[in-house]
Amino acid sequence: MDALKALQTELAAFAADRDWDKFHTPKNLAMALSGEAGELLEHFQWLTPEQSELGALPSDTLQGIEEEMADVLLYLLRLADRLNINLEAAANAKLQLNAVKYPVEKAKGNAVKYSRRGE
Amino acid sequence: MDALKALQTELAAFAADRDWDKFHTPKNLAMALSGEAGELLEHFQWLTPEQSELGALPSDTLQGIEEEMADVLLYLLRLADRLNINLEAAANAKLQLNAVKYPVEKAKGNAVKYSRRGE
Amino acid sequence: MDALKALQTELAAFAADRDWDKFHTPKNLAMALSGEAGELLEHFQWLTPEQSELGALPSDTLQGIEEEMADVLLYLLRLADRLNINLEAAANAKLQLNAVKYPVEKAKGNAVKYSRRGE
Amino acid sequence: MDALKALQTELAAFAADRDWDKFHTPKNLAMALSGEAGELLEHFQWLTPEQSELGALPSDTLQGIEEEMADVLLYLLRLADRLNINLEAAANAKLQLNAVKYPVEKAKGNAVKYSRRGE
């Protein structure tokens, strides 16, 4: 995930150049990330599931969604930088955990995970 | 961002193996991402900004934060896959946009961006 | 909204009795409210719109939803108390604003509001 | 909470007049509520805890916060209406639960609740 790491470094320089590190406490970055996730949500809130699919979304809505997703990633990388977290390793670890938690033979064809909230 | 793309492909296979694509509509994935962002937030909500910094966070809190961040990234990648979005390109484009929007000479030493909400 | 005001006063006493005012800054309360909204979201994220309706929700899911909604209201009241906001007046003012923004004759039968994100 | 109930009834009529009930599924209302909570968050994200207090907030920020809080309440009432939930009773029940969970003598002077995430 060299490109991800490169982006993280670039973002750190971007913030340092502007004296923004004082604003970018982990607490504040978590808030900003959550705010962007809320904006992402707003694009989808009145759509049916079918209307939210790639083929059905108007191009300007899709463009807006792409920008909110970029914002979420940028704040995620900024937060990873401030907390010295290796996002790629963390995501891979979580995926391995999920593979154990939801084995194909048990998960397939039923929705045991999806009968409860969250993960 | 080969590793990011590899993770995205692995996640798509993970969902397909479990017949989860019916749950993973873009609308639902945006909700799941936002739910994980909310869980991330909860780790920070009662901390002072100083307590949220790397040196001050208890290791189990940091571990929890890392896991929520992994969840956010996994749903972001799943959503990018369903909407055929190139996350790396989108993040780079947004960063270039921000560079124009917040030039160093104007942004430095004041907090014009930070006097208003959001971005 | 006497009962709402009474609840707000009771909550203020609850926090004071426990020395929790230092945690209950407006910033932190907004985070806590948003975290609870995220938990509410998680109950709905994998449901179809039809499955989210009153007649279709399992009773334990409905119970969980009710508790998250109570949490959202409690934090909203706590925040209103800290910022000296009259929630009832604010909600009525917003409703009047919406009546002007979305007149029946224009809003009915089309979804102009719902063709864009948010409000 | 007669005024709250009155507002809930008024909102139901407002939606019915505009044929909006098809958009107002519980799933969609939970998303809209969470989106508004995200907008509320954005007002606070770059502020210090001190800057978020009543005396320190600029009046236009306070006005914006009040409007987002109104939006959260309106969607909460709409959702309560669709799920036939008595919000006042639910909030009172939760408060009683919290009184048992956090007795004054144990909660006071330490922050046992606040050493973990969420509630």
Q: Is B95 an 8 Å CB contact of chain A?
A: yes
Please check whether residue D105 touches C, CB under 8 A.
Answer: no
D3-58 per-position pLDDT tens digit: 889 999 999 999 999 999 999 999 999 999 999 999 999 999 999 999 999 999 99
Domain C2-85: what homologous superfamily?
Answer: MazG-like (1.10.287.1080)
Q: What is the ipTM of this complex?
A: 0.93
pLDDT band at B118 (very low <50, low <70, confident <90, very high): very low
Say if the Cβ atoms of A118 and C45 lie within 8 Å.
Answer: yes
Within 8 A of D35 by CB-CB distance, chain A residues are: 38-39, 41-42, 45
Q: Give the tokens for residue D91.
A: 């909030």
Task: Tell me whether C62 touches chain D (CB under 8 Å).
Answer: yes
The pLDDT assigned to A82 comes to 98
3-state secondary structure (DSSP) of residue C49: coil
Banded model confidence at residue D107, pLDDT cuts 50, 70, 90 = confident
Q: What is the pLDDT confidence band of residue B117, given thresholds at 50, 70 and 90?
A: very low
Q: Nearest by CB to B35, which of C28, C32, C41?
A: C41
C40 vs D30: CB contact, 8 Å cut-off? yes
Residues B4-24 pLDDT 10s: 889 999 999 999 999 999 999
- Which residue in the set A28, A34, A44 is minimally distant from D31, CB to CB? A44
Compute the distance between CA of residue A22 and CA of residue B101 in angstroms, rounded to an integer: 20
Q: Which residue of C has its CA nearest to A37?
A: C38
State whether residue D111 sits within 8 Å of chain B by CB.
yes
Residue C72's pLDDT is what?
A: 98
pTM of this prediction?
0.94
For residues A110 and C3, which has the higher predicted lDDT (pLDDT)? C3
Give dist(CA A18, CA D26) in Å, integer.
Answer: 43
User: Which DSSP string do the residues of B35-68 spell out, in sequence order?
Assistant: HHHHHHHHHHTTS-TGGGSTTTS-HHHHHHHHHH
- Is the pLDDT at A98 greater than 70? The verdict is yes
Summarised one tens digit per residue, pLDDT across range A44-67 is 999 999 999 999 999 999 999 999
> How many pairs of residues across A and C have Cβ atoms under 8 Å apart?
29
Q: From CA B117, how far away is CA D62, in angstroms rounded? A: 12
Domain boundaries, chain B: 2-85, 87-119
Chain C interface includes B52 (CB < 8 A): no
Q: Give the model confidence (pLDDT) of B11-67 as tens digits.
A: 999 999 999 999 999 999 999 999 999 999 999 999 999 999 999 999 999 999 999
What are the backbone angles phi and psi of residue D110, rounded to the nearest 5°?
A: -130, 180
Burial of C100 from C-beta contacts in 10 A (0-12 / 13-18 / 19+): exposed
What gap in Å lies between CA B63 and CA B51, rounded to an integer?
Answer: 15
Three-state secondary structure call for residue D35: helix
